[in-house]
Amino acid sequence: MTQNTSKIKKIKRVLEPMSRLAPRIKPRLKPLNDIQESHRGNTGSWISSDFDPQFLCQFPYLELHTGWYLITINIHCTGAFDVAKFYTDNGNGFTESNVISMPYRSGVVAKRFVKLSRKTGGIRFDPQSVPGSFDINRLTFTPVTFKYAEARMLKRLTRWTASQLDETVSGARAALHEIATKKNGSYEQHLEEHYSSLFVAPVESHGYQDWIESVESARLPLATDITSLNNHKDKPLLSVIMPTCNTNPEWLQLTIESVQAQSYKNWQLCISDDASTDKHTIDVLEHMAAIEPRIKLVQQNKRVGIADNTNAALAIATGEFCLFLDHDDLLAAHALHEVANTIVSRPEVKLIYSDEDKLNELGKRVEPHFKPDWNPDLLLAQNYICHLAAIKREVLDDVGFCRSAYEGAQDHDLLLRVANVIEQKNVQHIPQVLYHWRMAPDSTASNASAKGFSTANGVAAVSDYLRSRGEEAEVTAGKFPNTYRVHRTLSVPQPLVSIIIPTRDHVDLLKQCIDSVVERTDYKNYEIIVVDNRSEEQETLTYFSELRRAGNIRVLSFNEGFNYSAINNFAVEHASGSVLTLLNNDIEVISPEWLTEMVSHAIRPSIGCVGAKLLYKNNMVQHAGVILGIGGVAGHSHKYFDAESAGYFSRLHLTQNMSAVTAACLTVEKKLYVAAGGLNDSDLKVAFNDVDFCLRVRALGVNNLWTPYALLYHHESMSRGQEDTREKQARFTSEAQFMQKKWGDSLDSDPAYNCNLTRKREDFSLAA
């Protein structure tokens, strides 16, 4: 009976993908309004000069009839995210009453199920809501059955229900049936209405201009607070440091005026001009210095370069803190107020930085960068701090100013040297957009590769930082410009790693997992501990006998009910290694360096748990670190992004500190595992035990870390099954409630994330 059941499950797994086969209908796009083909040479590249670009979707081969469809889009746009809209003509033209909204992130696949209620007279497609260039990488309409759409819509509806713990897929279905009955409507109609609501709220939250008007404007400081700070007896003098050289005079004027317009008044603007030859630039500088007593100007006789020119401006600064401003960028009106307020309220602060955005060619604010709090490993991989950065003058005097040997990466080099002499308590991140970075054609804001030499000097800066700390490592350029990878050197002999794999039957998965570890792992000093949790299938038991004959593989028996935490705790008691790797049996190794990479971080004194980059079999991201608060407890960063996508400001390809990582593949030193008390096997038997464990490890004073260079497939939860019974759903509810009660405050403020980003989705889109 058991063998027959297993065979049926295997057949279902094979047939399941076949049941989804359907023609993907790709419409022909006819420009209707404000759209021109781009001359960049790419098929599907377009440009819009206004706010209402429109296409007409034509279907010359297959008409769209009544029924359910899956719309799939992948658009690379000027901004970081936007909203595409589809207008259906049901006889009254294209009106807002028949609009299908699809929020999307640039370069990331977005999907939505829709029902066309009748043969449509046409579909209008509005790809974005702002001017600029865009590429349509994919646009398809796939006909699907209602049963197929229903299952996935219900799953989406109940996906973020940790804060509404009575919700389950089956519960949602029952609730919608009940609503439909009471309202004398159809179940299908009410399901569609509830599902559609998921795409209504994000429309405004995904639009950055709407966010500026509705969210940012509501957070501006009160006039009384501004007056109070300006009259404060200990208000700090802030020195704005600005090097210039043949700056566009119009932009230069606007930059200086953005400083003059500051609501905080106790500042000085220290300008050093690097021997400009443009008469108009010189005229603006000299005129503004003559009429504004708070401007201090020094002019070089010969060209010295950006680093030494910045140092010349620093040399004339007398403020308590120095802020760095590029000669064509803009400060937000309250930027200095927020910095000064931080200094007054936090006397221990030595480094302050803020969020930022960019100004496109039309002067419109786009691409906001909402940054994490202090993240030392991310700073090694990328200068994520960038603008606005304010550094205490005494720290600058201690570490020295900019170094010309690192020209192009001199700001990153300076921040790394500052990081070397301060502690986390000395850093304050202001989660507000206080800096606007102009996307000039030759600037790194517009094109990160515009200054290619900066990447090479960035590699040198990171290498020097590590050398100064006595850390052995090789630094290489990352996948994207101005990003870096640190290859850390492992000690010899390498530590023994105990790889712990809980399992129950599903021998095909387990064998795939172990074979991939044995055949594709370049780290050799490991043992594998397979923990059998009541396997019954003869094929599995036979395989265990084979494993026991291997020299570095042990099979332990755990004969109690399924309790993921208890199984791993049991295995750790029998582990010989000083380093542990928790590994699900549905994991498959892709990159041979995965364990070397994870161990090289796990043995660092400052690091606790190390997580990997896990992909679904279709090469979409399953896990890129855990973000607290998503869905009420936690969610996976960048879930469903394409593996090759840059992610949010390249973070899908950068080593970084995260609050938590999944235990599907987690490496940690055994002494830390024991010190933190292991996994919670009483309150968190299945869900969230890894998040809870990571937070307890972090409480020991170390940082957790996620690396993209440990790459594996995760055939998620195939052996354990879905949360599809009342018992499992009740257990999940209990575990989620436990997490919210224990970690409530921490779940609301993840330092690896940003309060301006959503906790409803895992795509780094804006919060409403």
Angstrom distances, CA of residue 687 to CA of 28, 470, 692, 762: 46, 40, 10, 18
Which among 112, 146, 180 is the end of a domain? Answer: 146
Is the bond leading into 388 cis (omega within 30 degrees of zero)? yes
Residue 606 inside a domain? The answer is yes
Task: Give pTM, 2 decimals.
Answer: 0.78
- pLDDT one-digit tens code per residue, 232-247: 999 999 999 999 999 9
Q: How far apart are CA 623 and CA 616, in angstroms?
A: 9
Report pLDDT for 575.
Answer: 97
Contacts 24+ apart (CB under 8 A), 450-453: 451/408, 452/481, 453/407, 453/408
Query: Tell me, what's the pLDDT at 721?
Result: 46
677 found inside a domain: yes
Indicate if 438 and 580 belong to the same structural domain.
no
What is the distance between the alpha carbons of residues 105 and 80, in angstroms, rounded to a whole number?
6
Q: Max alpha carbon distance in the chain (Å)?
A: 92
Domain final position from 146, 173, 195:
146
406 shares a domain with 261: yes
Which residue is it, tokens 């023609």?
A: 23
CA distance linking residue 141 with residue 525, whole number of Å: 51
Q: Does one domain contain both 127 and 232?
A: no
Q: Residue 677 phi/psi, 5° resolution?
A: 90, 10
Residues in the chain: 768
What parts of the chain have a pLDDT lower than 70? 1-22, 39-43, 78-80, 118-121, 158-172, 175-176, 178-184, 200-206, 441-452, 717-725, 768
Residues 654, 579 share a domain: yes
- C-alpha to C-alpha distances, 480 to 381, 452, 477, 644, 653, nearest whole angstrom: 11, 11, 8, 11, 8
Q: Read off the CATH number of the domain in which 625 is found.
A: 3.90.550.60
**Residue 325 lies inside a defined structural domain of this protein:** yes
What residues does 31 pair with on adjacent strands? 55
Per the structure, the count of domains in the chain is: 3
Question: Are 625 and 675 within one domain?
Answer: yes
| Cα radius of gyration rounded to whole Å, the chain | 28
Residue 438: CATH number of its domain = 3.90.550.10
Q: Is residue 300 part of a domain?
A: yes
Calpha distance 387→721 (Å, rounded): 47
Residues 462 and 427 reside in one and the same domain? yes
Looking only at the bridges linking them, the beta strands covering 267-273 and 295-299 are: parallel
Whether omega before 493 lies within 30 degrees of 0, making that bond cis, reads yes
Cα separation, 395 vs 450, in Å, equals 31
Say if residue 707 is in the same domain as residue 582.
yes
- pLDDT at position 131, please? 72
pLDDT in tens, 363-377: 889 899 999 999 999
3-state secondary structure of 650: helix
d(CA 606, CA 619): 32
User: Which residues have a Cβ under 8 Å from the Cβ of 711 and sit 6 or more positions away?
Assistant: 590, 591, 594, 612, 613, 615
Residues 447 and 537 in one domain: no
* Residue 599 shares a structural domain with residue 704: yes
Decide if 161 is inside a domain. Answer: no
135 shares a domain with 37? yes
Return the structure tokens found at 324.
Answer: 């760095």
Say how far apart CA 582 and CA 604 lie, in whole Å: 18
Domain assignment present for residue 542? The answer is yes
DSSP 3-state of 142: strand
Q: Which helix (H) or strand (E) holds 728?
A: helix 726-747
Instruction: Say yes or no: 465 and 502 in one domain.
Output: no
**Which of 25, 49, 191, 251 is CA-nearest to residue 134?**
49
pLDDT tens digit sequence for 707-764:
999 999 998 754 444 555 677 778 888 999 999 999 988 898 999 999 999 888 888 9
Domain of 628? 497-747
Instruction: Please tell me the predicted confidence (pLDDT) of residue 284.
Output: 97
H/E element holding 455? Answer: helix 453-468
- What backbone torsions phi and psi does residue 730 show, to the nearest 5 degrees? -65, -40
CATH number for the domain harbouring residue 71: 2.60.120.260
Q: Are residues 540 and 686 in the same domain?
A: yes
* Distance (Å, whole) CA 655 – CA 382: 9
Instruction: State which of 93, 123, 146 marks the end of a domain.
Output: 146
Cα 495 to Cα 9, 324, 516, 520, 606: the distances in Å are: 40, 45, 21, 19, 17
Residue 686 lies in a domain: yes
Phi, psi (rounded to 5 degrees) for 508: -65, -40
pLDDT value for 326: 96
Q: Report yes or no on 107 lying in a domain.
A: yes
